[in-house]
Amino acid sequence: MKSSHLKQSALCMLLVLALSGCAQLEKAIDGRPSGRSQARTEDKPRPRAERAEKAERSSRAERQAPDRDDIALREGINLYNEGEFNAAIKRLNSNDMNRASLRNRLAALKYTAFSYCVTGRQAQCRSSFDRALRLDPGFDLGPGEHGHPLWGPVFAKAKQSAAR
């Protein structure tokens, strides 16, 4: 009885660790402010500042009307965060992601790899990391994701193999 309780506790801890590294990407996808200070209204805008402001407004408008790949990515990450790993894999590999931006495809592959690793499918986890590294040789995990006991070693091997 104690052995199964220990196993269940260990799995719960691994799940908590898996989910803890997800907050940074979700903030970036949701378009939350990065902490930059706002320009003072009494300052007279310069032409460069006006262009930057126009680009920021345009960027905000794009975020308000997300593309199908943004929606698919957000839904896939939400499924992952809810512990629905197989559903997350399915959503992150959907047709909506085929024409996604490089950033979204890499994020989808990362969460797909995480989902495979959490469900004990190391070969598919490694394959997802390999695909991400083929898309972007500079692809890397976040600081809190590297030391994860399930996917950290798998990613390290994939990164090492890609460097050859």
Question: Does residue 62 have a pLDDT over 60?
Answer: no
Residue 49 has a pLDDT of 57
Those residues with Cβ within 8 angstroms of residue 15's Cβ, 6 or more apart along the chain or in another chain: 83, 118
The per-residue pLDDT for range 1-27, each reduced to its tens digit, is 555 544 555 454 444 444 445 444 454
**Mean pLDDT (the chain, rounded):** 76
Whether residue 107 contacts residue 25, with contact meaning beta carbons closer than 8 Å, is answered with yes
Query: Cβ atoms within 10 A of the Cβ of 29, count?
Result: 17
Nearest residue to 143 (alpha-carbon basis) of 6, 21, 14, 16: 21
**pTM value surpassing 0.95:** no
Question: Does residue 59 have a pLDDT over 80?
Answer: no
Whether residue 97 contacts residue 108, with contact meaning beta carbons closer than 8 Å, is answered with yes
Question: Does residue 120 have a pLDDT over 90?
Answer: yes
User: What is the arithmetic mean of pLDDT over 115-126?
Assistant: 97
* pLDDT confidence tier of residue 53, bands split at 50, 70 and 90: low
Between residues 40 and 126, the one the model is more confident about:
126
Nearest residue to 77 (alpha-carbon basis) of 22, 124, 148: 22
The per-residue pLDDT for range 67-106, each reduced to its tens digit, is 888 999 999 999 999 999 999 999 999 988 888 899 999 9
